Structure formats: C-alpha cells, structure tokens
Amino acid sequence: MATKAWAKGSIQEKPMTVVPQMLELRYAENRAIAFSMLHNLPDKSRAPLVLGLSTLALAALLSLIWSMRRQGVARLIPLALILAGALGNLQDRLSHGYVVDFVYVHWRDRWDFPVFNLADSLITIGTALLLIEFLFLSSRDRYPAR
C-alpha cells in the first residue's frame, strides 16, 4: 500500500525509467481485474462484478487457509503471499474504486507486459509456489498423515 501511495504521489505525472528500454515505473489505474480483463464492460456493471469476484475469491482463499492451518507454516507461505496481495488490491478497490499499478516491463518497442504492482507480484509468486508444490510433490508429501 505504501508503494501504491508512492506511485500516486511520485510518478503519476512523470514516469521513471529504472532500466532503459526494459523497466519503467509508470502510474496506471486498473478498474478491471488482472491484465485489465473485463475493461470493456460498462462501469455500472463492471464495478460490482469485480468487487463480487474479489470477495468470493478472498472467501475461498480464507477457507483454504483455515482448512490447511495444521499443515505447518511452510505450507501456508504461498497462501499467505496470495492473501497479502489480494488484500492490498482489495483495499485499493474499496478506497479508490480501482487498483494502482506502476511496474511496467517491456523490451524496447517490441514486447511489453501489462502494468502491475507489488501486490500482483505477491499473488503471482504465491500461485507459482502452489503450482510447484502440486506438480513436484506427491500427495503423500503434500498432506502427511496426522
């Protein structure tokens, strides 16, 4: 949240180049969901849909964390990362009506990635860790007998 406030105050008017032709800090307001999906919907229907989906996803995540609470801290780290990112973005949505994004990765004028924020990075890292666990650990290793 502090990074988003910094972005709003520091780079809203003038983007900052970190690595030329590769990484910029550029202020953006995302009123849709990840990668600006649903941005074509009218505000009147998009805003409640995005808020409802966010709330539903948060409830599912909290339920999963609760059900895995005895699995040990290492098992909960990916879920905690996802939760932290989701709460940061949800707070933005509730207080501003949009999520502040500011990290812009690109390669010259040939390729670019949608602008994102650190909360998005936490969600992505947590999801990747869950995927790695699912793909490379057997079910016995993932859920040991109690």
Is 122 within 8 Å of 82 (Cβ atoms)?
Answer: yes
Q: Look at the chain and report how many structural domains it folds into.
A: 1
Establish if 145 belongs to a structural domain. Answer: no
Domain membership of residue 114 (yes or no) is yes
Is 146 contained in some domain?
no
39-75 b/e with 16+ CB inside 10 Å = b? eeeeeeebbeebeeebeeebeebeeebeeeeeeeeeb
Let me know if residue 44 belongs to a domain: yes
**Would the pLDDT of 146 be above 80?**
no
118 domain-assigned: yes
User: Which residues are marked as active site?
Assistant: 101, 120
Contact present, 115 and 29 (Cβ < 8 Å)? no
Provide the mean pLDDT of the chain: 88
For residue 77, the number of C-alpha atoms closer than 13 Å in the C-beta half-sphere is 9
The parent domain of residue 29 ranges over 2-140
**Range ranked top by mean pLDDT from 22-36, 39-53, 79-93:** 79-93
- List pLDDT tens digits, range 57-86: 999 999 999 998 888 888 899 999 999 999
In a domain, 66, yes or no: yes
pTM of the model: 0.83
The answer as to whether 93 is a domain residue is yes
Interval 109-135: pLDDT, tens: 899 999 999 999 999 999 999 999 888
Q: Which residue has the higher pLDDT, 62 or 145?
A: 62
In a domain, 65, yes or no: yes
